[in-house]
Amino acid sequence: MIGTKALTFLRIAGTALWWLLVLSPLCAVNARAAAEEQVDIATTGDYYSLGGHLVYLADPGKKLSASDIVARADQLAWTQAADAIPNLGLQAPPHWFMIRLGNSSQQDWSGLLEMSYTMIDVLDVYIEHRQELVKVAEVGDQRPFSNRLLAHRNFLVPITVPAGDSVRILMLGESAGALKFPLDLWHIPAFFQHDQRTLAPQILFVGLMLALALYNFFLLLATRDWNYFWYVLSIVSISFVVMSFHGILAQYVWPETPALNNPVLVASISTNIFAATIFAYSFLDLKRFPKWLGGLFLGHSAAGVLVFVLNLMLPYGTTIKLAALFSVTGATLGICTGAWLWYRGEILARFYTLAWFLLLAGSVAITFSHMGYLPSILIFTHGQQIGAVAEGLLLSFALAYRINMERQQRFQAQAQLLKLQTETNQLLEKKVQERTAELQEANRKLQESSATDGLTQVKNRYFFDEKLTHEWLKNSRANSQISLLMIDGDHFKSINDNYGHLCGDAVLKHVAALFNTSVNRAGDFVARYGGEEFTILLCHTDLFGAATVAERIRKKVENTLLEWEGKKISFTISIGVANQIPSRDSDPKSLLQDADSALYKAKHAGRNRVMLFTRKTTANGTVTDIIPFQ
């Protein structure tokens, strides 16, 4: 079960992410009533952002005409834009936007107005010059692409301001989704230089995502692993989302069918919700955890399917809100769960969490860049594409890493199966050749070869003998030390006599558990050697290190009482410690003999102590001694 700390972590991380993605942009709204502002284009240079100079006016029901606006401009309650990119939120009513451009120079000025938010449904642009009002553009993603004055993914309007004069720009914007109004002013050469720089990342993004999708699709065909299917579906859908946001689909895929723009966007987002959450559920193997956690992911995948279906029946303004809601909650769930699994040490969760973080960071970066909180440089203005590509690359690597892990596990399983088959064949041959008595003996030996002692659940004598021989040979090649602790219970017979054999068994299980908790390194292990005798093998450990472990174990046993039928039973042990550097010519039994001699000395020296078997090389040869541990 997930503990209280993990739940607290999930709640804190989720709240922080929700604040970052949803609430913090709303806090930037600080509109104020204002009069029309004039921008002198003679001082703006090759590029100038007009968004922060706009004034706007809500027109529910579109009751005002452009001529009404011009006639009553000074009487209407205009609001001054508070941000570099005005953002009026989802399902805002139609709004009129207005700005006056002046030209204090002695030459006529010609350039382009650029509206880079391609998801606006309707955009009508008027120019008023010396009481003459002209409608110059009727564009929007709900109008055919051929309506645009210039064939471009963004909305472009050529504009000329006479020398020493001014013009008023009047725009009506309407959108069933978010109503954003990033308006920029360009000199024509500067715009096309900028456009070439921004088009290249779009082409690169499409190419990289297509390559990732094809690569993983072929892996899907080769492996039949459904993770690749959900991943490919996720890549394709997020690519459609990004291309929709940047007007690529509207320009190149269905330019004369604008009615597809909004439904395809919602369909792409809902498909991504479905595929991404199913992928996370499978990739992170969430069925290992409490059902409610996996249920949240499966619930979001079902929500993606529901939004996809509702998209066929409900208005865009409703379905885009649902899609945005489940995108935020799904992203929050995914990154919080991934971070929690990363905290637990799950390797694959690290790739997953980092991939999601990069995608979300890119989405936040492009949002804050549009709002003017971050500079409009490549890494921010194309943050979503960069994040999507980074996510795709990381998850592709993670899937490859997962394949490698599974392959290694298969190799290990095959090796174990081969070993088991070999042993089974040998056993079957013996069964054919041997008589009934020999078969019973073979069965008995097979049972004895089980690695675990049935009472204490530590390794048994048979496993210890095999492991000691194996480690002896391995350490003889590495010229590395091996230490052995031989442990015996003190006055164990009195436990059985005073409290019964069930209590004696409980004492053995009690001390075995204490031994296990005291040995943590890989390769070290505890074994029941027989009766109340235990051994602990410590590889790559010198005599002093082994003696330190032995003394720690002795104290732990002495200080940890056993609760038995309302009584507290104390118990002590004696430990003999020996150490050798194995060689090919030596016998591992000599290490056992040394440890047993030290244990014998500990028992006869008063018990409840640690004795060390030592060797010293002198001029007369090797001298051995058994000394107490100080």
Catalytic residues: 532
Pairing of strands 482-489, 533-539: antiparallel
Q: Count other Cβ atoms within 10 Å, centred on residue 413.
A: 10
CB 80 within 8 A of CB 34: yes
Q: Name residue 366's beta-bridge partners.
A: none
DSSP string, 323-372: HHHHHHHHHHHHHHHHHHHHHTT-HHHHHHHHHHHHHHHHHHHHHHHHTT
Pairing of strands 573-580, 482-489: antiparallel
Counting beta carbons within 10 angstroms of the beta carbon of residue 120, is it exposed (0 to 12), middle (13 to 18) or buried (19 or more)? buried
Query: Which tokens is 212 given?
Result: 């990732």
Q: Which value, to the nearest 10 degrees, does the dihedral of the CA atoms of residues 467, 472, 477, 478 take?
A: 90
Query: Which tokens is 473 given?
Result: 């040979």
Q: Which residues contact 196 (CB under 8 A, 6 or more apart)?
A: none
> What is the rounded distance in angstroms from the CA atom of residue 463 to the CA atom of residue 264?
64
* Measured CA angle at 453 (ends 449, 459), to 5 deg: 80
Task: Give the distance from CA 329 to its chain's centroid.
Answer: 15
Query: 341: phi > 0 → left, psi -120 to 50 → alpha, else beta; which?
Result: alpha
Q: At 498, which amino acid appears? A: N
CB 398 within 8 A of CB 356: no
Q: Which residues contact 296 (CB under 8 A, 6 or more apart)?
A: 333
Query: 477: phi > 0 → left, psi -120 to 50 → alpha, else beta; which?
Result: alpha
- Return the residue matching tokens 């104020």: 32
CB 282 within 8 A of CB 421: no
- Return the residue matching tokens 């529910």: 60
- First and final C-alpha spacing in the chain: 45
Q: For residue 111, which of 127, 87, 123 has the smallest C-alpha distance?
A: 127
Query: Which tokens is 516 given?
Result: 């296990």
> What is the rounded distance in angstroms from the CA atom of residue 539 to the CA atom of residue 478?
11
Give the helix ranges, DSSP H, for 173-315.
188-223, 226-245, 248-252, 261-283, 291-310
Sign, CA torsion 238/335/375/368: positive
Q: Which value, to the nearest 10 degrees, does the dihedral of the CA atoms of residues 319, 324, 327, 333 take?
A: -120
Q: Which residues contact 228 (CB under 8 A, 6 or more apart)?
A: 216, 217, 219, 220, 399
Q: How many CA atoms lie within 13 A of 369 on its CB side?
A: 18
